[in-house]
A = this chain, B = another copy of it.
Amino acid sequence: MRLSRYFLPVLKENPSEAQIVSHRLMLRAGMIKQQSAGIYAWLPLGFKVLRKLENIVHEEQVRAGHIPMLMPTLQSADLWRESGRYDGYGEEMLRMQDRHGRDMLYSPTAEEMFTDVFRAHVNSYKDLPLTLYQIQWKFRDEIRPRFGVMRGREFYMKDGYNFDLSKEDALHAYNRHLVSYLRTYERMGLQAIPMRADSGPIGGDYTHEFLVLAETGESEVFYDSEITDLTFGDRAIDYDSVEQCQAVLEEFTSRYARTDETHDEALFNEVPEERRRTARGIEVGQIFYFGTQYTDAMNAAVQGPDGKPVQIHMGSHGIGVSRLLGAIIEASHDENGIIWPEGVTPFHVGIVNLKQGDEEADAACEALYDSFTAAGLEPLYDDRKERAGGKFATMDLIGLPWRITVGPRGLKNGVVELTSRRTGESEELPPEQAVEKIIQIYAKHRVTGL
């Protein structure tokens, strides 16, 4: 993309309404614009990251054997009356009536609707196990929306639902989700720690929240410092293997890690003192096993091998996709702006032309642009007639991990400058080598999506 043709309305001033850094930086970098309280327009740069996160979530869910589909945003109230949640859900549920006076609602979650699809179409034990999921807009009418996309009212969420013949099978689905979530967050450059949590209005006994450590987190968290040494890494995993998924769950959840909702001081004190940590965390996902609560209420059973009905064990599993943008920025920024992890950056590399209009500099930038594009990477080329300082400030603010600076002086020596956003370190090298280096860096960060 050439910046002269893009729509990137960066702000020089800090917007007064933003209380936390991610909100401030998303506004300043021209990623979002508030349309109503807690409701945002996703400007091109913000949409680009949102789409990339969505694609990563899709890839990892499909890899785990889960099947994507899509529910409507609006639901009939009747389904929620059937499950017994309609009256109890409270004011966070946005309710409305259509022109015929039928009660409807904007989906805050979709246990009922997935259970409804399941009971309509699945009749036999042979069709299980089954995990369906969607990534779709949800609405929760928060009384005090704030912190930008971190606590918005309209938000983008992945929600998945497993249907199994037994508690044992459903717990394998639970573990499989835990593994796939670990992979998902790591690809996004995040360390998200699974913590024992409270199940809230979804219900159930088994639940873990995934928390990213950040000063602005809404939850106080307590954990054993050994946990932050764990990484999932490149390990191969067979998602069908009960043992392998169980082993990952044990590895990542056997040490103390809880939110304030489930914190147990006595247990925490069993952790050696030097490893006890208290911090704040941002919730970016949650997994649940809740058994037969919805399938019983909504009469969703299947025929077993002996022809008798079998109860269906369920769980649900969520990733806050839009909220993740805020979480990533909270975890990765400096005083000059965002620092995108390579896995989620909206553009792979910035090209800054120090002397727009100079024949050689222009040609070198165009050549770089074409090389990256041919390699399937997306460069952002600042081809505006601006001073270098302004161009650098914009690149730092929007946080592309790598910048190539092209100027007549360097070109005379046959070099361009390659700069890391994270370390600030620069090196001079011939353009072809800079391209080669960038291509190699991104080789393990390819996102294809659905």
Asked if B94 and A70 sit within 8 Å, CB to CB, the answer is: no
A69 within 8 A of B: yes
Chain B nearest Cβ from A241, distance in angstroms: 15
Q: Is A12 an interface residue (CB 8 A)?
A: no
B76 and A50 contacting across the interface, CB-CB below 8 Å: no
A43 to B35, CA, bound (A): 32
Does A279 reach chain B (CB closer than 8 Å)? no
Which of A41, A92, A96, A116 counts the most chain B CB atoms within 10 A?
A: A41
State in angstroms the CA–CA spacing of A449 and B35 once bound together. Answer: 27
B-contacting residues, A19-54, CB 8 Å: 30, 33, 35-36, 39-44, 46-48, 50-51
Does A70 contact B91, Cβ atoms closer than 8 Å? no
- B72 x A39 contact (CB < 8 A): yes
Cα–Cα, bound, A76→B51 (Å): 25
B5–A65 CB distance below 8 A: yes
Per-residue B-contact encoding for A148-173, CB less than 8 Å = 1, 0 else: 00000110000000000000000000
Q: Cβ of A289 < 8 Å from any Cβ of B?
A: no
Say whether B67 contacts A44, CB under 8 Å: yes
A72–B51 Cα distance when bound, in Å, is 14
Given contact pairs A67-B7, A450-B51, A113 touches B74 in the complex (Cβ within 8 A)? no
Residues of B contacting A69 in the complex (Cβ-Cβ under 8 angstroms): 7, 41-44, 46-47
Closest to A155 in B: B72
Q: Is A442 an interface residue (CB 8 A)?
A: no
Residue of B36, B91, B116 near A74 (CB, 8 A) is B36
Partner of A121, one of B33, B65, B120: B33
A232, CB-defined interface residue at 8 Å? no
A438 at the interface (CB under 8 A from B): no
| Bound-state Cα–Cα, A132 to B43, Å | 9
Assuming the A-B contacts A39-B72, A70-B47, are A99 and B7 also in contact, with contact meaning beta carbons closer than 8 angstroms in the complex? no
Contact of A42 among B42, B44, B70, B106 (CB under 8 A): B70
Stretch from A137-145, A248-256, A396-404 forming part of the interface with B: A137-145
Whether the pair A41, B113 counts as a contact (CB closer than 8 A) is yes
CA distance A117 to B9 in the complex (A): 10
A232 to B88, alpha carbons, bound, how many Å? 56
Expressed in whole angstroms, the Cα–Cα distance for A7 and B134 within the complex equals: 14
A–B complex contacts, Cβ < 8 Å, 18 sampled: A7-B69, A30-B121, A35-B72, A35-B116, A36-B75, A39-B72, A39-B74, A42-B71, A43-B117, A47-B68, A47-B69, A48-B68, A72-B137, A72-B154, A73-B154, A74-B106, A74-B139, A449-B449
Copies of this protein, total: 2
Question: A7 CA to B157 CA in the complex, in Å?
Answer: 22
Residues of B within 8 A of A412 (CB): none
Query: A143: which B residues are within 8 A, CB to CB?
Result: 99
Residues of chain B within 8 A (CB-CB) of A39 are 72, 74-76
At the interface, yes or no: A104 with Cβ under 8 Å from chain B?
yes
Nearest-neighbour CB distance to chain B for A112, whole angstroms, equals 10
- In the complex, the 5 A-B pairs of residues with the closest C-beta atoms, listed nearest first: A9-B121, A96-B96, A42-B70, A36-B76, A91-B99
In whole angstroms, how far apart are the Cα atoms of A141 and B75 in the complex? 14
Tell me the residues in window 100-124 of chain A with beta carbons closer than 8 Å to chain B beta carbons. 102, 104, 106, 113, 116-117, 120-122
Binary B-proximity of A219-253 (CB < 8 A = 1, otherwise 0): 00000000000000000000000000000000000
Contacts of A46 in B (CB 8 A): 69
Contacts of A130 in B (CB 8 A): 7
Q: Which of A51, A70, A74, A76 has the most CB of B within 10 A?
A: A70
Q: Does A98 contact B (CB under 8 A)?
A: yes
Assembly CA distance A39 to B121 (angstroms): 18
Q: Is A89 an interface residue (CB 8 A)?
A: no
Q: Once bound together, how far apart are the Cα atoms of A122 and B9, in whole Å?
A: 8
A47 to B134: give the CA distance in the assembly, Å. Answer: 10
Question: How far does the Cβ of A284 sit from chain B's closest Cβ, in whole Å?
Answer: 20
Query: A72-B154, A99-B91 known; A117 and B33 CB under 8 Å?
Result: yes
Q: Of B35, B47, B67, B71, which is within 8 A of A113 by CB?
A: B35
Question: In the assembly, what is the distance between CA of A113 and CA of B42, in Å?
Answer: 12
Interface positions of A from 339 to 392, Cβ below 8 Å from B: none
